[in-house]
Amino acid sequence: MFKRVPGTKDVLPDEAGQWQAIEAASRDTFSLYNYHEIRTPVIEEAALFNRTLGLTAEIVQKQMFLIHNQQDVYVLRPEGTASIARSYLENNLDKTSGFIKLYYIGPMFRLERPQKGRLRQFHHIGCEAIGSQEAILDIEVISLAARLLKNFAVSDYKIKINSLGCPKDKQTLSLNLKQGLQKEKQNLCADCQLRLENNILRILDCKNESCQKIVKTLALSNTHLCPDCLDHFKEVTDGLSSLNIAFDVEPQLVRGLDYYNRTVFEFTHSNLGSQDAIGAGGRYNNLIKELGGPDIGGIGFAFGMERLLLASKITGEKPLSRMVYLITLGKTAKNAGIKILNQLRLSGIPSDMDYLNRSLKAAMRAANDSGARYVLILGEDELKKNVISLRDMSNSTQREINIEELTEELKC
């Protein structure tokens, strides 16, 4: 028998209700903030991510789901932001609207060793607001994320926030770190020894214990920020406080992708152990320019759907409360039954039937299991009289009604 590819997951019908509830809450909330949906392809040119995430990013180095054909190298998208920036420019959205707010829901792919909490196909719910560098946008985006979490019935989460500053400040930060970490080189994990040379910021969020110990001794603060970036960050934190949004400033928070600058943030949840992030995001003022577009800022975030589901108390859609279940006895009745079901569904009444030629008793049991409110029983005798038996499962009463009156009867 075939098995699913390692690191992928089937969402079965009894879980799908929860997925739908989260997706519905997302769409409602994004609409409330006037975000519009964008759907980009799941395959992109690999070079798009090499260019934007940075060649030293873990995703680019180790996790790209590459597809080679004769001339091109494609990749199953590992994240949403670069694709949306590509689409924004390719479709001239910078020229038509200047400032735009977009959201997306869909699968992402990373080729990594499957382990608990890490899938090769996972799902993101995210947004991007492109075209402004204003701190007020950072405030809105973070408050939108907090509102989403509330609507997903996620509580006990934490917002961590930091500012990387402009590219110059990032360089200062990297240099400071290099000075502080060089003498500890032999005590860092093997990955971090490499990062020391090519992706030093990433050492700050290494999960290795001895690396974390060393990072703690650095006594990080925001001394790398220039006056402009310091002002911007203060505006953001003041704005969040004015909206009563609780957050922790976390100088260790860097996010490992090249395109981030200034505000970065992360949402963590206590239920999730060491991989405790349920979502993250940040500002990327150079991303659009890096891709050949104008010099405009952007900011966005994404939640991991599978992580959200572990933290969310949202319940799936309730079973249909007015479901009708039809049982027919005999071939003539079955043929008449098809028409009756068709009529009910045309009138918007959810309905189903027995497809297995079960006995009346077994079919009644199936009707009961399906959660149907009403059961219709149609046999040859009823058909001759042009009536149908209608049983109300909520009070176990049964009566015969005219077939023509059935739809009216069930509508109310």
Taking CB under 5 A as the criterion, the residue among 66, 226, 249, 362 binding Zn ion is 226
Which of 134, 155, 127, 160 is closest to 33 using CA atoms? 127
Count of helices and strands (H, E) across the chain? 16, 16
Residues 381-400, one symbol each (x = binds Zn ion by CB under 5 A, - = not), give --------------------
Contact 81, 130 (CB under 8 A): no
Structure tokens at 340: 């009756």
What strands, in cross-sheet order, belong to the sheet with 43-45? Answer: 43-45, 73-76, 65-68
* d(C-alpha 321, C-alpha 6), whole Å: 38
Which residue number, 275 or 407, has a Cβ lying nearer to Zn ion? Answer: 275
Residue 116 beta carbon to Zn ion: minimum distance, rounded to whole angstroms: 20
8 Å CB contact between 119 and 275: no
Do the Cβ atoms of 299 and 60 come closer than 8 Å?
Answer: no
Residues with Cβ within 8 Å of residue 193, at least 6 apart in sequence: 185
Q: Does 166 bind Zn ion (CB under 5 A)?
A: yes
Q: How many residues bind Zn ion (CB under 5 A)?
A: 10
192 is an interface residue for Zn ion by CB under 5 A: yes
Task: Say whether residue 135 binds Zn ion (CB under 5 A).
Answer: no
* Residue number with CB closer to Zn ion (211 or 302): 211
5, 120 Cβ separation under 8 angstroms: yes
By beta-carbon proximity to Zn ion, the closer residue of 169 and 354 is 169
Q: φ, ψ for residue 312 (rounded to 5)?
A: -90, 145
Q: For the chain, give the longest Cα–Cα distance.
A: 95
Q: Between residues 229 and 410, which has the closer beta carbon with respect to Zn ion?
A: 229
Q: Could you say whether residue 229 binds Zn ion (CB under 5 A)?
A: yes
By CB under 5 A, residue 169 contacts Zn ion: yes
Residue (29 or 286) nearer to Zn ion, CB: 286
Helix (H) or strand (E) holding 382: helix 380-385
In this complex, which beta carbon is closest to Zn ion, that of residue 26 or of residue 285? Answer: 285
DSSP assignment letter at 256: S
In the complex, minimum distance from the CB of residue 211 to Zn ion, in angstroms, rounded to a whole number: 3
CB of 206 to Zn ion, least distance (A): 3
Of the candidate residues 153, 206, 218, 310, the single one contacting Zn ion (CB under 5 A): 206
Q: Quick one: which segment of 30-38, 39-47, 182-190, 214-222 binds Zn ion (CB under 5 A)?
A: 182-190
Helix or strand run (H / E) with residue 96: helix 93-96
Which of 79, 169 has the CB closer to Zn ion? Answer: 169
Q: Which CB atom, from 251 or from 330, has the smaller least distance to Zn ion?
A: 251
**Alpha carbons 396 and 394: distance in angstroms, whole number:** 6
Site residues (CB under 5 A) for Zn ion, limited to 283-312: none
Q: Is 164 in the site for Zn ion (CB under 5 A)?
A: no
189 touching Zn ion, by CB under 5 A:
yes
Q: Between 139 and 196, whose beta carbon lies closer to Zn ion?
A: 196
Look-up of token digits 């009289």: 385
- Of 206 and 310, nearer to Zn ion (C-beta) is 206
* Lookup result for tokens 């990297």: 174
> In angstroms, what is the minimal distance from the CB of 165 to Zn ion?
4
**230 binds Zn ion, rule: CB under 5 A:** no
| Closest distance of CB 226 from Zn ion, Å | 3
If one asks whether residue 278 binds Zn ion (CB under 5 A), the answer comes out as no
Alpha carbon 388 to its chain's center: 47
Please write down the HEC assignment for all residues of 111-145: CCCCECCECCEEEEEEEEEECCCCHHHHHHHHHHH
- Which of 313, 183, 207 is CA-nearest to residue 256? 207
Segment interacting with Zn ion, rule: CB under 5 A, options 21-29, 100-108, 208-216, 295-303: 208-216
Residue 105 within binding range of Zn ion, rule CB under 5 A: no
55 contacts Zn ion (rule: CB under 5 A): no
Q: Which amino acid is it at 328?
A: T
Interface pick for Zn ion out of 133, 176, 208, 222 (rule CB under 5 A) = 208
Residues that bind Zn ion (CB under 5 A): 165-166, 169, 189, 192, 206, 208, 211, 226, 229
